[in-house]
Chain A
């Protein structure tokens, strides 16, 4: 180790090998079989359980937990996967503390919900470790569907369509499938190549072809898809990033958080990744937290998360905020950036404190920064798209767009939270609607 956390500027190799490995290991280690039984036993098997209602994919949680408790984790996995084909990833990345586990009656009773997320992972890992795919395709329908985007929404839709007997071609601009599961989620939530392993497992259903390096508006066009396929599902996510429109934002060291995370996820050697000594992340969502925490884990000495409103308004859950704080990230609230200072490279970022109504207070603060990561929202890019609403594709019902034969879901479409689990639900529901329209 030639560098240390104290080395100024943006530099790689701040930590020794063991620290990298420990910092980026599994955030929640897997439950062992006995831990799973103890955790499962805490489930009350509620009537019309609130956790099911809270789950965007409506997984029958009490049933799968009872299946774990009675020694049949593979049956539990089938219960999960029949509703959510990416149940393995969702078990890792879902903000369960604001979904199923928040609704758990034991949260109300004791402040300690059943460990639904970790139990879901226990079951899905148990099945997938045997490389068993529990679903089979229906008789071929002869219908073809194009899916744009191999992220959670696209793959969920593709799997369901393939299972129903349709032939699916998935187009993705990136060289690997998985979308944000592969490129956009903190490494410690999905270590050891889980995202790719899950996609490989999912594709065992058959009937799905993925073509990489095909971006909508470049290698493929809406008109061509509509002509070639019986239906089209758009799930390309949000390809653009909101800029930081302040003086000095063009200085070197100012980056998009999504690129920082993507580089980290694709890195073979974390020690080769440069990170600043003083990192400032601007934003208050999951991407901002993922970038801030991972900066810290890469060896940044001071990491500040700067958000324009109070913590209660942050899109990142309380658990994520506390995780960031526990890793040593400083959370600044009620600040908006007004200027980036430095001579070529960023040295400081200047904020103004703002009131709840976003009016300026006139009070300024400068924070040392040799790296600034922008995480202030992403935007939909593309031409010839169906009608938009608030910058996203407008949908009605199960993802129907303004164009006949074209559905949309996931982050590129209106509606729902921008969560993996929501994308999976939208993909699945659109698939059912596409199926109904193709065979109806």
Chain B
């Protein structure tokens, strides 16, 4: 089948054994590729009770069938693993030029098991695949590591690697690739636990496409759809994702001071034009991922400091969420997350939790190494972040995120942890968007804003006719029908499977039917949008099965109490709290999930052709009963 390279590299780091195999055609048919392929690997090739930081954990880098083609932002690599942050499945995807290069080298997926005796990196140079010593790289930050590998292997090589946080097994550690990150869920710690410092790839081969003429038409449709969406092609194209900050504040979904507030009174100061126009202090450049039309990636240099990418989530996490409004501190925090390699969302959220604990007297200066962790104290935030990244002093307590820290601190600390399944909630206040309540709650990898980013529909009022979303949805109703959310989630997940960026659909730009056209042109396999969405539905059903086996139930799909008990303080949702149970019931109904166990019903599994999966899950359900 064209589009795929039909080759997976399996690396056992314990024995140093490297095998190349054909892709499993059954996984491709069921789950398409990308994230779906990685999750299928977990189900089939890993003990499902594996400890995330043990050698048993299976870490895979999965490109999709579209990765490497000119399809819009066909750059994505889905990294799949068991997450040390949440203990659920981990699926985190990154852009950069790494995935395309892997395809050009001739591979769809690289999978790692075991643990190397000493630090290593994997070099993939077209046909040649070898494990190389990385002892001299251990202790280096992400940029230094990339440079050192380029120095050794040639400057055209594409690298993804971990920084010090990954080495120190921080559950917030991410994987870095050319200022893009597989950020959420602690993939960096999994690499660290395997003594795997980096993966470097050079590819001079090609990705073949089944029907060039059909592709040309589908490609033109897809870029037209992107360019016709005014917000995407206007502010986001211009300022990058920080453009969302103003809108989020207007609609009252901008988390402020650890979600105490949902609107930021100093919003003016953090609007992105302050960064772009302040040319005496900041230099902004654009560097995009492979084949990206949008180019949300904005590279910031502040004096001598090469900050790296500044995007909405980092800005919101280190800005309003911590009550900080000075760009200097926000940029410094962004710099540390980049070079040490931690997830900026969870990093910023953990610090905002520390700030609330500090202000409420749950922790004192003893647990902050003397730092005055009040909301709004930018320099203290930056210093705390640095300590967290390096596990220095008190930073060790917080390095695994707010959930793990609260367990150690005890008392009322857990009440102020804004996380689901242990993963910190990203920068959208669910009190202002009922559908985001469900997105954060039911996301299989912990509170994730991209499964799906539904505030676009209910809060911002977008429609998505190709997904049958033709009527505006009420952002404040938890009892409204949520079947549209099921389709939207599948649409977002399809992008992860296909290897394109979910920013193609975040503002309802690209039609799922255009995605299907692209897929058909690339692979030569006829598919319509319904079957495409079904591959995502299967992937989600498989992820739910793994999570169930690992002990996750309906109770784990709930948001923190704050959203149900403390009303929103400003903007359109002022005074509103979330009715979590009603929202969950509506969503489970729409997805045909059992309301108690939160997994698809037997009938649903049967319809999806996944009875072999269902058997395991339902045997366990029987035992539990």
A and B: bona fide binding partners: no
